[in-house]
Amino acid sequence: MDLGIAGKRALVCASSKGLGRGCAEALAEAGVDLILNARRVEALEDTAATIRTAHGVDVVTVAADITTENGRKAVLGACVGVDILVTNAGGPPPGNWSDWTRDDFIAALDANMLTPIALMQALMPGMIHRGWGRVVNITSQSVKAPIATLGLSNAARTGLTGFVAGTARQVAPNGVIINNLLPGIHDTDRATSLDGGVSRAQGISMDQARANRIATIPARRYGTASDFGAMCAFLCSQHAGFIVGQNILLDGGAGNATI
Ligand code: NAP
């Protein structure tokens, strides 16, 4: 399917690895020029070089922490004529409800709620001016079904979801379409780190932790970054203009809900 977005320009945050990289690769395959971001230069440059070679698109890199004001300033400084925004950052650490401090909550809200909001506020006026834009926020399955040990994530991402619900309807008349993508478990460094936590807490091997989790997923596997990227690219495509303010779950059926 021709996604109809060749020649558009996208900022994909936190995209040297994992789900962000999956989104960047799928957009590049559709002919989209990219601004890629991550904190560590080496993986970021490797990813950029691989994408340039594979897809022949223009790729600009900005090594910066997207969750800080200075980091966002650096990234936004490279953002001329951005039509597509994919927001992403690392997720908050697991823990227990009784231990999290105000500072823990502020850090999670900064990273996973206020950063995507600031990026939308910075880039959507240009999209509105040009009459076309797409925003995909990478959130989490925890928005639909809470994961108790990820309470910081549950809280921050649900806050972002509330902001998007109203704002998506305000900007859609201008051709700017915002949706959220909710990953269930996907085979990335984040999944390895979550499985490591389970392995330590339950005194089981990493393989057993993974096997136990797979048994809870009807698709009987972890998702891949390319599964995720394909859906992201579709939501950024010309075909997605009637999908507004939705929360799309990619979890292999793990969430046991009718709607
Ligand atoms: P990942 O494999 O750990 O990749 C994270 C990517 O983001 C790397 O490129 C990393 O590069 C970059 N990054 C992290 N923090 C950053 C920051 N502050 N500023 C700029 N770049 C940053 O993670 P993932 O699995 O793709 O997860 C992406 C998001 O989806 C996370 O918020 C995660 O919590 C959420 N999620 C993931 C899953 C899953 O199963 N994978 C499930 C639900 C939700 P640097 O380290 O070099 O910055």
CA distance 59 to 113: 26
Give 94's DSSP letter: P
Task: Out of 65, 88, 119, give the residue to mutate to test ligand 1, the one with the largest number of ligand atoms within 8 Å of its CB.
Answer: 88
Q: Among residues 216, 204, 226, which one has the least CA distance to residue 253?
A: 216
Ligand 1 centre from 13 Cα, in Å? 9
Band (76; pLDDT cuts 50, 70, 90): very high
DSSP 90: P
Atom of ligand 1 nearest to the CA of 188: 2
Predicted local confidence at residue 222, as pLDDT: 98
- CA distances to 11, 122, 139, 258 from 172, rounded to whole Å, are 20, 17, 20, 28
**pLDDT for 143:** 95
Identify the pLDDT of residue 234. 98
Task: Label residue 53 by pLDDT band (50, 70, 90).
Answer: very high
User: In testing the pocket of ligand 1, which one of 11, 39, 185 has its CB within 8 Å of the most ligand atoms?
Assistant: 39
CA 89 to ligand 1 center in whole angstroms:
5
Sheet holding 84-87, edge to edge: 59-63, 33-38, 9-12, 84-87, 133-138, 176-183, 247-250
Residue 240 — very low, low, confident or very high, per pLDDT cuts 50/70/90? Answer: very high
H or E element in which residue 177 lies? strand 176-183
Q: Which residues line ligand 1 (CB under 6 A)?
A: 14-20, 37-40, 43, 65-67, 88-91, 138, 140-141, 183, 185-186, 188-191
Residues 196-219, mean pLDDT to the nearest whole number: 96
